[in-house]
A and B are shown apart, each in its own frame.
Chain A
Amino acid sequence: MARAITPQKKVMWTALAWAFGLLMFFPILWTFLTSFKTEAAAISDPPVWLFFDWTLENYAAVQERSNYPKALMNSIIIAVGSTLLGILIAVPAAWAMAFVPGRKTKDILLWMLSTKMLPAVGVLYPLVLLAKWLGVMDSRILLIVVLMLINLPIIVWMLYTYFREIPGEILEAARMDGAGLRSEIIYVLTPMALPGIASTVLLNIILAWNEAFWTILLTTVNAAPLTAFIASFSAPEGLFYAKLSAASMMAIAPILIMGWFSQKQLVRGLTFGAVK
């Protein structure tokens, strides 16, 4: 039996929760507002909140900076590329572990997760050296491969947990009805696996998009994605708050939207099933 909640209490909790929510969100909101100000309004004393001349000039100015479109393109290619490559390698592995589990399946899965714990600085120089030897330093393909490798354990893990939820009886029923392996995969398995694969793709694009160790240290000009592009704003050049805000909004907006859709997957993907 649910307890009766007095309206006063509900209003109180609402006010408190909204206050904290807005406090947490405030830096993003402030960045959003600043991105529409002129540079002079962005640093006006006292700060202006809503009543200023809204302008889009910062967004135009950032786009005109010759390297912004390239950085955006690099971010998209690297995040999507590394995720798809990871999916390609992980789907068969997760599939086999979920449907044909052996004695060692659990150990393999745990070992894969443990590779995720390897601190990046521990392998920093070898990677720089290997990249130079292979002549792939500052290339998209290098980042696609590296980000695929650091996220592969999470991809395998998530797919495994999704696939394990598909009941095996359904496969048997399909076989009983005379479905061959081909139609079994196309008509039974794929539709059931797709939501899980889609969620995994979403979370891993977010993780790859925001990765800021390898993307900064393994790129200079050609393959630098948005993380590195934004970092280049750390040396201020005159008035730049509004432009920094516009660049920041363009870098985080698509991921914020994707992130809101994948809250649940975040728990599944980043706690390795230790919290349910």
Chain B
Amino acid sequence: MATAHSKSAARFMIAPAVFVLLVWMLIPLCMTLYFSFADYRPMRGVFEAWIGFDNYARFFSSSSFIKSLVTTLWMVGSILLITITGGVMMALLLDKPMFGQGIVRILVIAPFFVMPTVSALVWKNMFFNVDNGLFSYAYKFFGLQPYDFLSQAPLFSIIIIVAWQWLPFATLILLTAVQSLDSEQLEAAEMDGAPALARFRFIILPHLSRAITVVILIQTIFLLSIFAEIFVTTNGAFGTRTLTYLVYQRVLESQNIGLGSAGGIVAVILANIIAIFLMRIVGKNLDN
């Protein structure tokens, strides 16, 4: 029974949340947009308010942009591949009857709650370190030459760290989806003699497709902004400079605000393209 009175009260209750988010969205974003058309280098005292699309042209044509884009795609792509395949397998495994299911779940999910700086430093020092890392001991144990992960395969090392953090997320979401699977359908297929692979291909995978899409979209949005893991391991060196990290360096390290802001706007546009797809799925679900 929404009366006119309760409607206006409702508007009044929603207003503060809308207002703060609007301010949060608009003011900084407009400032970034404004700076992206300016030549602004505070360290050298340079400020020219309007230089047109020069920053964008320079940003797009610089080799560091192309490289950062390739790095970003590699990083996000590999992490998605690892977490989705791993997540599907883990979810199916965790759904099986077993002893101590609750404890296994807890063990698997735990990495997601470790703060990014801790997981990056623990992996960097106690696993990847060439002198004292556990992997080096393992290599030596098998009579192999220890491998310096972070300087010889830095991108791969960061991918491992971040995939370890996000695999629990994918597993948890996909497990929720697996558990809503109609078990009678599976049993019927099994009785009809469908082999395990066919059951997976034609019943389980189609059922999971929506959850997989959601995991891909959400993870992509978060993975595009990976920061701390790069910050404490390689600091963007050795080909680990993603788009996010490049913008950070332009803005805060080399203090070329105009160029960095143009990069920031590019990052916003990229993230929004993915967000549109995600919002469409969320919107559909709100209706029912």
Interface residues of A (CB under 8 A from B): 3, 5, 9-11, 13-14, 16-18, 20-22, 24-25, 27-28, 30-31, 34, 43, 45-47, 89-90, 92-93, 95-97, 99-102, 106, 108-110, 112-115, 117-130, 149, 152-153, 156, 206, 209-210, 212-213, 216-217, 226-228, 230-231, 233-234, 236, 241, 244-245, 248, 251-252, 255-256, 258-260, 263, 266-267, 270-276
With a cutoff of 8 Å between Cβ atoms, the chain A residues found around residue B107 in the complex are 21-22, 24-25
What number of A-B contacts does a CB cutoff of 8 Å give? 306
B138 to chain A: closest residue by CB? A47
* 30 interchain pairs, CB-CB under 8 A: A13-B97, A14-B98, A16-B93, A27-B122, A30-B126, A31-B126, A45-B137, A47-B134, A93-B14, A100-B7, A102-B10, A117-B274, A118-B29, A118-B271, A119-B267, A121-B244, A121-B251, A122-B271, A125-B31, A126-B29, A149-B20, A149-B24, A152-B20, A206-B113, A213-B228, A227-B115, A230-B115, A231-B228, A274-B210, A274-B285
Q: Is the CB of A97 within 8 A of B111?
A: no
Interface code B84-104, partner A: CB below 8 Å = 1, 0 otherwise? 000000100110111111011
Q: Is B248 an interface residue (CB 8 A)?
A: yes
Asked, given contacts A24-B167, A28-B114, A270-B218, whether A275 binds B173 with beta carbons under 8 Å apart, the answer is yes
With a cutoff of 8 Å between Cβ atoms, the chain A residues found around residue B11 in the complex are 96
A92 to chain B: closest residue by CB? B13
Asked, given contacts A27-B164, A113-B279, A113-B282, whether A89 binds B32 with beta carbons under 8 Å apart, the answer is no
Chain B contacts with A in 242-270, Cβ cutoff 8 A: 244, 247-248, 251-252, 257, 260-261, 263-265, 267-268, 270
> Which residue of the partner chain, among B13, B110, B134, B173, contacts A24 with CB atoms under 8 Å?
B110
Give the size of the chain B interface in residues (CB under 8 angstroms).
108
> Which residue of the partner chain, among A100, A106, A233, contacts B10 with CB atoms under 8 Å?
A100
CB distance from B232 to the nearest CB of A (A): 4
Q: Is the CB of A17 within 8 A of B286?
A: no
> Which residue of the partner chain, among B109, B177, B244, contacts A259 with CB atoms under 8 Å?
B109
Q: Is the CB of A259 within 8 A of B113?
A: yes
> Which residue of the partner chain, among A149, A213, A251, contacts B21 with CB atoms under 8 Å?
A149
With a cutoff of 8 Å between Cβ atoms, the chain B residues found around residue A213 in the complex are 225, 227-228
B271 to chain A: closest residue by CB? A119
Q: Is B106 an interface residue (CB 8 A)?
A: yes
CB distance from B35 to the nearest CB of A (A): 7
With a cutoff of 8 Å between Cβ atoms, the chain B residues found around residue A236 in the complex are 125
Q: Is the CB of B108 within 8 A of A21?
A: yes
Q: Which of A120, A122, A272 has the most CB of B within 10 A?
A: A122
Asked, given contacts A89-B16, A110-B283, whether A122 binds B268 with beta carbons under 8 Å apart, the answer is yes
- Describe A's contact surface by its main secondary structure: helix
Interface code B106-141, partner A: CB below 8 Å = 1, 0 otherwise? 111111111111110111111100011010010011
Q: Is the CB of A28 within 8 A of B14?
A: no
> Which residue of the partner chain, among A95, A216, A245, contacts B13 with CB atoms under 8 Å?
A95
> Which residue of the partner chain, among B21, B35, B132, contacts A153 with CB atoms under 8 Å?
B21
Query: Can you name 14 extra interface pairs (CB under 8 A) apart from A100-B2, A273-B285?
Result: A5-B97, A24-B168, A25-B108, A27-B126, A30-B122, A92-B16, A106-B283, A121-B263, A121-B267, A122-B28, A212-B115, A213-B225, A241-B126, A248-B121
